[in-house]
Structure 1
Amino acid sequence: MIMTRNIIPYIIAALVILAAGCSKFDEINTNPDKPTHVTSGMLATKLILNITKDDISSQKSFLYNFMLSKYVAWSEFPEASQYNKFGRTSFDGLVILNNVPQMVRYATDEGKHNAYKGLGHFLRAWKFFQLTMQVGDMPYSEALKGESDNVINPKYDTQKEVFMGILTELDSADVLFSKAASFDGDPVYNGNAAKWRKLANSFQLKVLINLYRKAGDTDLKVKERFQQIVSARPVFESNADNFALKYSDKAGQKYPFFKENNQFIIYNMLTTTLIDQLKTLQDRRLFYYAKPSPVEITGGKTANDWTAYKGIDAAAVYSDLSKVASSKDFSAMNERYTEIPQGEPFCLLSFAQLKFILAEGAARGWITGAENYYKQGITAAMEFVAGNTPDDARFHHNMKIDAASIQTYLAGPDVAFGATLAEQVEQIAVQQYLATFLHAPNNGYYEYRRTGYPALPVNPASNQNTMPDRIPRRWLYPQKELDYNGEHVKAAISTQYGGNDDANVDMWILKD
């Protein structure tokens, strides 16, 4: 007992010393260059990069979306996206939206609060749009409520309900950005709320043109919304407003198909779907998008000869495609995509696309000025290409795009605006297809699915779709949904697709 009583002061002293030591240890091991708490700006950066940089893969996988849209064929071995094997999508990308409430909560003043809240609405609209375009009905009203409301198995909303939610979110984004201050953490527009407002409204026009079959729906009010945005809200005004990710010569920031550590640059082959359309229209973007066939150059043709460029049939069976690849008698991607570290800005939604959307809306009688919008779209697309290409013969093959060549192109017999709605829709779709080469992932496929233009090749001998005479109309639902939310996803499959999760059945948005 005496020994125990006498040792207590020593124990107390030791604990005091240990506590002091721990305090100093924490100070010593705190990195002054590493944030100790999250901010709205940090979360904004993460969220914005998620729909720009993170969604844009690099090297070979960068081209998968463009194989699906039949811009590019691949000679390494048969690729599922080129041969129309879609498979199951995933809803995992929605999880990052759980950061939106925290981003808004940490805002330091009302102006920033409005900016971050507007950004949150836009990001939600963007994410849900991409996914509903793949599958149709999906969780929306109860999605992402596991933590807040303990909703582990969210119900499925109809695709119409999802689109109504998207339109409402974009309306909210417009109002909030109109009252917002500049904000931190924005790698695209440097926190300029006015530019984000233009993006939200331009994107809503894209959503609305995809709803053209539902123009008579009194709930959606497609035409009325389209008209109101055009007449009363700010939208993209130039290529400077493009929703685009810019690259640089810094590590981790280089163009996705730049040659550095990229052994896949030798396998790309441009398709007849792209090359032949450019040649038919006498479109100088041919010389910016492609390299001439080395066989044609060896045979005496010059790099500015239209006939020196040769595409490959994207639907060719792989053994035939491989033979062409071995012969070298085809056009690959222009060197400006592989030789320049910063490449060109990657547009997810561009000023040119907006003009084509407006042109189609006008052609359908929602607004006026279809021909002018169509010409402005072509002009913007060509100016973007020329403006982001160094003046080097390797990159334009001495067929430079300038104001005079654009005017000549617009007056060409195959480019001049058609007289009928059918002709106009085809021309607008083809020009948007040409403008989104290596931009706007899957847009070429979605526009083909929506309008039928340009006609994408299908070969039953090579097609990996379950119906070999057609390209699939949708992706299959995620396996995780079948495993963990089976009751709701099966009900959605039943009401939409007759109980069969079939890639070849049209979703609501594609039905008249």
Structure 2
Amino acid sequence: MKKLFKYILIGVTGFSVLSCSKFEEVNTNPEATEKATSAMIATRIILNLANQSTQKSFMMPYLLNKNVIWTEFVESYQYNGFGTSSVSMTAINDAENMVKFAATEKLAKSYEGLKYFARAIKFYESTMDLGDIPYSEALKGESEKNYFPKYDTQKEVFLGILNELELADKAFSEGEKFSGDPIYAGDINKWRKLVNSFSLNVLMQLSKKESDPDLNVKGRFQTILTSKPIFASNADNYEIKRSDKNGQQYPFYKVGNNFTIYPTMSTEIVDRLKDKQDRRLFYYGNPAAKKLSEGKTQSDFAAYVGIDHSQSFDVITTIKNSGDYSKLNDRYMEIPTGEPTQQLSYAQVCFIIAEAAARGWVSDPAVEWYKKGVEASMKFIYANTPNTTQFHHNMPLDDTYISTYVAGLGTSFPTNLEARIEEILVQKYLASFLQSEFATYYDYRRTGYPKWKINPATSLNSEAPTKIPVRWKYPTVEFDYNTENVDAAVQRQFNGVDDINQLMWILK
């Protein structure tokens, strides 16, 4: 084998010497573009921001969110084990080129809006995972030869994020329809709605800092809600619509996917939906085989059984072998287009505004936005699922059911502030099943809701087994190459220990 490899190298070398003058001619693809365009860069950036992983990796955030549990073997997220962050900024390195390559001033404004939004998203993800991060000096290796950026405080980062979102909204408002957008087809009005709706989400994550005058959380929130465009229906969702083409199918579609047998429904989802007699249960899961064999019907809430995610893996394996548990609904594996995968939905925005109203940030009735959120969630599921027994088990989320169910929510909405916030966040959690990746976890660590079971005996969080970690560790590469700056950030925030249980600034 080594000899064969040696001869292959000799052959390649010989070809290079004899034919170098024709190399470019032979290796030029006549169908490929030779110049990057604003649209090409935009497409790559947007897909990087909005897309999600596939197959097993797709499910990992939802183990942390306690949507599902994994039965292949012990998975860290299921048992609250954290490592280092994997957020990457490479996707936005050349975002500035979208603006430079634009053909008109108005197009340049549109791509400028996308640039600011993309930066805000990436820095948001990074600081939400870690705390203090490089911001003011970040992404300046090529332009200013700054390869070792300082770490800004998390407050400074959030002020920068909010500013970039305002700049994005302004730029889009001065732009025009642009090419290269696989989500909104270049509609700048829809992009403005997304930018401002995402701003509401960022402000809500700053709820513990609502009295900080520099951030002006409540004032910013009120301004956006009363004077700027935001999501108004499911048609505005920040999502990727799937197609039955290779690489564009639903992330957990069965073809080529060897992991479909491992996820099961968690009690955190099943029990809450059963308690509320909520038909979304029949779209999220399948009835337990054991319950059907005992005479229960597929349209009976009692036929659906979750598994407690905090139990030992041996116990979970025993339950799985018994058949007394609910698998995921077939629609997640059997339909190549599946449902659109969301990063931010109208339903979630409704719950964000409901929470803001409950906290007194805005004068709108919290219950009305709460009801809108549940309604939007149910309508999204119904609209994106074939109306067959296989997928709704004779319990469809039709208009009659939805209107009756949502009307009843007003009578049971709590009066106590803390109880209201818990109820809003529980419904936000139920609406985010297998959607929006880590969004529910961020809400949990901020508020403690939903109240998830934690079993110290099975926890992989060895330093604090009664808690779910509140951050990831800094990447090892930072300690290898940007040592002085990352060490200073760790010392400033966590007394010198890069600890997954130490509270970052937004959580204090």
| TM-score bucket of the superposed structures, by smaller chain | over 0.9
CA distance in 2, matches of 1:158, 1:415: 44
Spell out the pairing of 1:188-227 with structure 2 (5 A cutoff).
188-227=183-222
Give SS of 2:78's match.
coil
Which position in structure 2 is the counterpart of 1:77? Answer: 73
CA distance in 1, matches of 2:173, 2:231: 15
Following TM superposition, by how much is the alpha carbon of 1:389 offset from its aligned partner in structure 2, in angstroms?
0.7
CA distance in 1, matches of 2:411, 2:323: 32
Change (3 A) 1:24 1:313: closer
Which position in structure 2 is the counterpart of 1:364? Answer: 359
Q: Does the 8 Å contact 1:114/1:177 carry over to 2?
A: yes
Which position in structure 1 is the counterpart of 2:446? Answer: 450
Following TM superposition, by how much is the alpha carbon of 1:32 offset from its aligned partner in structure 2, in angstroms?
2.6
Q: Does the 8 Å contact 1:242/1:349 carry over to 2?
A: yes
Q: Does the 8 Å contact 1:355/1:377 carry over to 2?
A: yes
Which position in structure 2 is the counterpart of 1:323? Answer: 318
Which position in structure 2 is the counterpart of 1:431? Answer: 427
Spell out the pairing of 1:386-465 with structure 2 (5 A cutoff).
386-412=382-408, 416-465=412-461
CA-based RMSD of the aligned residues comes to: 1.5
Give SS of 2:166's match.
helix
2:487 pairs with 463, 478, 490, which one?
490
Matching of residue 273 in structure 1 with residue 268 in structure 2: yes
Matching of residue 154 in structure 1 with residue 152 in structure 2: no
CA distance in 1, matches of 2:177, 2:53: 29
CA distance in 2, matches of 1:143, 1:188: 28
Following TM superposition, by how much is the alpha carbon of 1:213 offset from its aligned partner in structure 2, in angstroms?
1.2
Following TM superposition, by how much is the alpha carbon of 1:195 offset from its aligned partner in structure 2, in angstroms?
0.6
Which position in structure 2 is the counterpart of 1:503? Answer: 500
1:217-237 Cα distance to aligned partner (Å, 9 max, x none): 111111110000011100011
Change (3 A) 1:48 1:22: same
Q: Does the 8 Å contact 2:176/2:188 carry over to 1?
A: yes
CA distance in 2, matches of 1:306, 1:359: 28
Q: Does the 8 Å contact 1:247/1:254 carry over to 2?
A: yes
Q: Does the 8 Å contact 1:281/1:415 carry over to 2?
A: no
Matching of residue 39 in structure 1 with residue 34 in structure 2: no
1:293-351 Cα distance to aligned partner (Å, 9 max, x none): 01111111110000000000011110001111111210011001110000000010000
Q: Does the 8 Å contact 1:279/1:306 carry over to 2?
A: yes
Which position in structure 1 is the counterpart of 2:251? Answer: 256
Which position in structure 1 is the counterpart of 2:132? Answer: 137
Q: Which amino acid aligns with 2:356?
A: G
CA distance in 2, matches of 1:309, 1:22: 67
Q: Does the 8 Å contact 1:209/1:361 carry over to 2?
A: yes
Following TM superposition, by how much is the alpha carbon of 1:28 offset from its aligned partner in structure 2, in angstroms?
6.7
Q: Does the 8 Å contact 1:290/1:333 carry over to 2?
A: yes
Q: Which amino acid aligns with 1:429?
A: L
1:371-411 Cα distance to aligned partner (Å, 9 max, x none): 11111111101100111110110100010112222233234
Change (3 A) 1:384 1:26: same
Following TM superposition, by how much is the alpha carbon of 1:279 offset from its aligned partner in structure 2, in angstroms?
0.2
Following TM superposition, by how much is the alpha carbon of 1:31 offset from its aligned partner in structure 2, in angstroms?
2.5
Following TM superposition, by how much is the alpha carbon of 1:126 offset from its aligned partner in structure 2, in angstroms?
0.5
Q: Does the 8 Å contact 2:371/2:410 carry over to 1?
A: no
Which position in structure 1 is the counterpart of 2:224? Answer: 229
Change (3 A) 1:29 1:85: closer
Following TM superposition, by how much is the alpha carbon of 1:140 offset from its aligned partner in structure 2, in angstroms?
0.3
Q: Which runs of 5+ in 2 are unaligned?
A: 1-18
Q: Does the 8 Å contact 2:487/2:496 carry over to 1?
A: yes
Q: Does the 8 Å contact 1:244/1:349 carry over to 2?
A: yes
CA distance in 2, matches of 1:304, 1:25: 66
CA distance in 1, matches of 2:161, 2:187: 22
TM-score by length of 1: 0.93
Change (3 A) 1:335 1:27: same
CA distance in 1, matches of 2:104, 2:410: 55
Following TM superposition, by how much is the alpha carbon of 1:281 offset from its aligned partner in structure 2, in angstroms?
0.5
1:51 pairs with 49, 52, 61, which one?
49
Spell out the pairing of 1:49-128 with structure 2 (5 A cutoff).
49-53=47-51, 56-91=52-87, 93-128=88-123
Matching of residue 384 in structure 1 with residue 374 in structure 2: no
Following TM superposition, by how much is the alpha carbon of 1:27 offset from its aligned partner in structure 2, in angstroms?
5.8
1:423-458 Cα distance to aligned partner (Å, 9 max, x none): 110111000000000000011211111111111111
The size of the alignment, in residue pairs, is: 488
Q: Does the 8 Å contact 1:42/1:185 carry over to 2?
A: yes
Give SS of 2:334's match.
coil
CA distance in 2, matches of 1:164, 1:442: 22
CA distance in 1, matches of 2:484, 2:296: 63
Structure ID, larger Rg: 1
Which position in structure 1 is the counterpart of 2:12? Answer: none
Which position in structure 1 is the counterpart of 2:338? Answer: 343
Q: Does the 8 Å contact 2:50/2:342 carry over to 1?
A: no
Q: Which amino acid aligns with 2:442?
A: Y
CA distance in 1, matches of 2:209, 2:99: 34
Which position in structure 2 is the counterpart of 1:6? Answer: none
Change (3 A) 1:311 1:108: same
Q: Does the 8 Å contact 1:281/1:414 carry over to 2?
A: no
Q: Which shows bigger deviation, 334-343 or 455-464?
A: 455-464
Which position in structure 2 is the counterpart of 1:13? Answer: none
Give SS of 1:288's match.
helix
Change (3 A) 1:141 1:413: closer
Change (3 A) 1:88 1:25: closer
Q: Which amino acid aligns with 2:498?
A: D
1:167-211 Cα distance to aligned partner (Å, 9 max, x none): 000000000000111111111111111111110000000000111
Q: Which amino acid aligns with 1:287?
A: F
User: Quick one: percent identity of the two aligned structures?
Assistant: 51
Q: Does the 8 Å contact 1:389/1:395 carry over to 2?
A: yes
Q: Which amino acid aligns with 1:81?
A: Y
1:438-489 Cα distance to aligned partner (Å, 9 max, x none): 0000112111111111111111111101221111011111101111111111
Change (3 A) 1:482 1:24: closer
Which position in structure 2 is the counterpart of 1:283? Answer: 278
1:107-132 Cα distance to aligned partner (Å, 9 max, x none): 11011100100000000000111111
